[in-house]
Structure 1
Amino acid sequence: MASCVSGLRGLGPQRLRPVVRSSLRVQGRPFLLLDVVSRFSLAALLSSTVSAGVLVSAPVHRFAHRRDRSGQHARKRALRAANRTLGIDGIAQEQLLADGAAARSAAAARGGAAAWAECAALLVEACGLAEDEDQAADAWLAIAYGWSPWLRAGKPTGSWLENQVVLPEPAELRRDLLWLTSLEASPLAMALAKEGEGASAKAALRQLLQARPGAVLRGSAAKFSAALGAAPVELRADFAERVLRSPRLLELTWNCGGLCAARC
């Protein structure tokens, strides 16, 4: 192969094309030029072939496509790992509860004990949690307000993760829960009501929070409105029901129109 590449230099357009075609037949491999690219400078190859009119873009493009797909898989693996770090998708219940307890203690150390306790009580009431289930409220708050990833990283001082940590605000949480349960104001509340009355409606809200507390809390109405506006038109009629089945939809607040589909 080295001799073939060295032979490409200095050949004119009329002589270069037969050499490349002959090499392709002798080697019997459709991606012969990919070997050239991998072993020699791409710039040097292009300098000796582009002026001669040799088409190298097709095999290089196929190679790049395979590499891009590999990159997509790597990004998806990283995203799944990030989701696990955020306390969703595969984290054991025991770990979630431990994170919640640690977050409550850390918030108390910052003077947020009263606010945290009030917010936890609001969630317990809204979701109808039993006395032995109230720790779930701490876990949801820890995830929604940025405490879980910071604690799992070892509480790094001055880090980006620490900057995402916020003390829960009872007034904000009241507005969220009011919207989530108000049939007059919230399409999502109407969808929750369809799940049943009384305890069943609370159970539906609980299931929603268990699945994606970070998406549901902290500005529920604004998040729903943004996600609805970004959703394709054909999905908007029953968007609230779709959110119940997949709360992650509340995190999708921008419609790229398919321009970046290869990166999804």
Structure 2
Amino acid sequence: QSRAAKLIPAQALRSKDAILSRRYPDYIYNESKVREHLLTVRRKRPADWNKTVGKASITEKSLDREIAQTPPVRRDPERTQREILHVAVTEFSRHGFNGARIDEIARQTRTSKRMIYYYFGSKQGLYVEALRQAYQMVRQLELNLDLDRLEPVEALRQLIRSSLTYFENNPDNVRIIASENLLLNGAMEHADSSFFELNRSAVDVVESILVRGRASGVFRSGPDAPSALDVHQVLSALALNRTEHQKSFKAIFGRDMLGSDSGPHVRSLIEETVLRLVLADADQARPAS
């Protein structure tokens, strides 16, 4: 029996790490054709089916005929990577680094383990890039606010509000960041310099606001004035607390920090707290009604 006619377990075909993904990692195929063929094997060649106790086997030549009848569709590599990262963020955030499965990410994105490793090198490499994407989204949000067009107090107020909204609307992104900080899954050790430069930009955004506010006299200045890093740290801590501790606060204290009743109050509380750190006149910290 030639190598081309070697029997391939149907179980391996379904994993997509057999023939299709091994030969053509950047292509996708109509899986219904493969399923139809397996049903044909079971119906017309019961002996082959029974050889593997119900796990039908087919030949590589036979599969090649199915491939020929189903022209491949070229994947867009950039789009594929974005889809993989989107699913990876969810999987890592919900199951942790050790609990997340590359097989499951491949299944949800209709790719293969081979393709994922081709793009990201390893599970650790995929994790680092997923974490980078979570940070990238909030950094891009900050840039899109175009805060330089606003007066310093309003600029800081908008930054606070947008950060709270982002944390509220992107729980998976927030959770993967929190998980890395709590469990130390190795992203910081494996990340390159661009990863750290990306996150330092968050402090630069705050610094730009503080410089303008101090120059106009609305923000505190001098050696005791809070730094941009101080402001970023306090805002990040309060925003993260609101989302990550929502369930425990609701169960213990009856306050749903994301709910319609308590949510607006907690948002205002955080906004006022951060503004009071920097304002020369603390009375301006209260949100406008």
Measured against the shorter chain, the TM-score band is under 0.3
Higher gyration radius (CA): 1
The two structures have a TM-score, normalised by structure 1, of 0.27
The two structures have a TM-score, normalised by structure 2, of 0.26
